[in-house]
Amino acid sequence: MTQTLFRNGLVLDPEHAEPRAGSLLVADGRIEAFLSSEEATPEAAQVVELAGRALAPGFIDIHFHGATIFDALDAPAASLRQDAASILRHGVTAFLPTTIALDPAGLRHRVEGLAAAVADHKEGAAALGVHLEGPWISANAPGAQPPEAIRPYEPAEGRDVLDRGEGAIRMVTLAPEAPGAQELLAELGRRGVVPALGHTKASAEVTLDGFDRGARHVTHLFNAMGSFHHREPGAIGAALADDRATCDLICDGVHVHPAAVRAAARAKGEKLLLITDAIDPGASGELEGGRLTEDGPVWRLPGGTLAGSRLPLSDAIANAAAFGAMTQLEAVRAASLGPALLLGIESERGTLRPKARADLVVLEDDGSVAETWMGGERVYSA
């Protein structure tokens, strides 16, 4: 048995109320035990000296576009490997490659290509499955999604797409007011796929009906949604007020104002998750024919529309604490255990409980990533 002792750290366990000073023992790629400063440690274990630095579970990004959306529709494997390698330096050990709205033929090719790439993927951060963002969203709230690809849900197309995914599709973002949304929610429920509401101008009543029909998550809260008004709270108000729904948001200070991040954290508590919505256009620098420009932590289309973020998930965690929305431990939970619970993988990932995978992140005092570990093996070091 191979043992590794992460010694003298500040352990950020998302299932504990406070950080704990001590050590974490790993055996054969799995977490074995937390050891307090007073407990004896195995003499034969390989030692990783933390010297007071924070140790957290590996982060999970459930909304990451990366480079794959810029690839050939049926050949995303190379970009998936690129994405999975690049996000290790930000502490991300698992993610959902996320699509954009595509025409029917393009969607079929993309889903087939991604499903095959995910099945064969073995390097870098784990690709847990596919997140379909669209095309069954509202044309009135496209964000940076191509409007011509947004359409009603047709059961024949939907079943075909989900079948082509061969079980790889883990989440679908849809608008509850889109034609066919009720049928789509029922189909996702039968297949065990997480239904998420987003890109919507739905009223509060329609949004709550979506929750009644099985939707249990909200995609990038505040963005590509109707506005909140005290007499017309819309999807935002319904999501903030309903305890059945988790919500994620892009915590870069541009997509969502820090005050709104604080308000969401107070309303949702542990049901608020952090994502990046990151894109990596590479050399092309274009999305749907529009030249993208960098603007701090975001990308913009011509005209100024937000097209996605340049946000590392480690920065989202640091921002949530800096904005006064969460403690560091709460922000770590929002990027680890919270997403794991949503996907039903909390016994394996996003946790420091015994027998879970030893996917770990060592953090410096400023929140930057010093080391990333997967299955007890160091895969990144600053």
Annotated domain spans of the chain: 3-56+351-381, 58-343
d(CA 162, CA 147): 22
d(CA 360, CA 373): 5
Q: What is the pLDDT of residues 342-367, one digit of tens each?
A: 999 999 999 999 999 999 999 999 99
For residue 283, give every residue at least 6 positions away whose Cβ sits within 8 Å of its Cβ, in sequence order, or none: none
- Is residue 277 part of the annotated active site? The answer reads yes
pLDDT at 74: 82
d(CA 95, CA 62): 5
Radius of gyration (Cα) for the chain, nearest Å?
A: 20
pLDDT at 161: 98
By CB neighbour count within 10 A (0-12 exposed, 13-18 middle, 19+ buried), where does 219 fall?
buried
Average pLDDT over residues 270-293: 87
pLDDT at 313: 98
d(CA 75, CA 177): 33
The residues pairing with 360 across neighbouring beta strands, listed in sequence order, are: 57, 373
Q: Is the pLDDT of residue 335 over 80?
A: yes
pLDDT at 39: 84
> Which residue type sits at 133?
E
By CB neighbour count within 10 A (0-12 exposed, 13-18 middle, 19+ buried), where does 316 fall?
buried
pLDDT at 283: 65
Enter the DSSP assignment of 228: P
Sign of CA dihedral 103, 107, 220, 84: negative
pLDDT at 37: 84
> Which residue type sits at 50?
L
Q: Is the pLDDT of residue 209 over 90?
A: yes
d(CA 65, CA 270): 25
Q: What is the mean pLDDT of the chain?
A: 96
pLDDT at 290: 79
pLDDT at 27: 97
By CB neighbour count within 10 A (0-12 exposed, 13-18 middle, 19+ buried), where does 207 fall?
buried
**Which helix (H) or strand (E) element contains residue 337?**
helix 337-343
- The pLDDT-based confidence of 286 (bands split at 50, 70, 90) is confident
Count Cβ neighbours within 10 Å for each residue of 146-171 and write b for 16 or more, e otherwise.
Answer: beebbbebeeebbeebbebbeebbbb
Q: Are 133 and 145 in contact (CB under 8 A)?
A: yes
Enter the DSSP assignment of 279: E
Of 181, 182, 193, 174, nearest to 130 by C-alpha is 193
Q: Is the pLDDT of residue 334 over 90?
A: yes
Of the CATH numbers 2.30.40.10, 3.30.1360.40, 1.10.10.10, 3.40.718.10, which one belongs to the domain with range 3-56+351-381?
2.30.40.10
**Which helix (H) or strand (E) element contains residue 10?**
strand 3-11
What does the block give as tokens for 49? Answer: 């000296």
Q: What percent of the chain is predicted at pLDDT more than 90?
A: 91
pLDDT at 240: 98
Helix (H, G, I), strand (E, B) or coil at 227: coil
Q: Is the pLDDT of residue 42 over 90?
A: no
Average pLDDT over residues 278-283: 88
Tell me the whole-structure pTM to 2 decimals: 0.97
Fold of 58-343: TIM Barrel (3.20.20)
**Which helix (H) or strand (E) element contains residue 172?**
strand 169-174
Q: Are 357 and 365 in contact (CB under 8 A)?
A: no
What does the block give as tokens for 287? Answer: 């999305």
- The pLDDT-based confidence of 175 (bands split at 50, 70, 90) is very high
Catalytic residue among 252, 277, 280, 315: 277
Higher pLDDT, 302 or 371: 371
Distances (CA, A) of 177 to 102, 183, 210, 279: 19, 12, 9, 27
Q: Are 336 and 57 in contact (CB under 8 A)?
A: yes
Average pLDDT over residues 82-100: 98
CB neighbourhood size of 228 (10 A) = 18
pLDDT at 289: 62
For residue 192, give every residue at least 6 positions away whose Cβ sits within 8 Å of its Cβ, in sequence order, or none: none
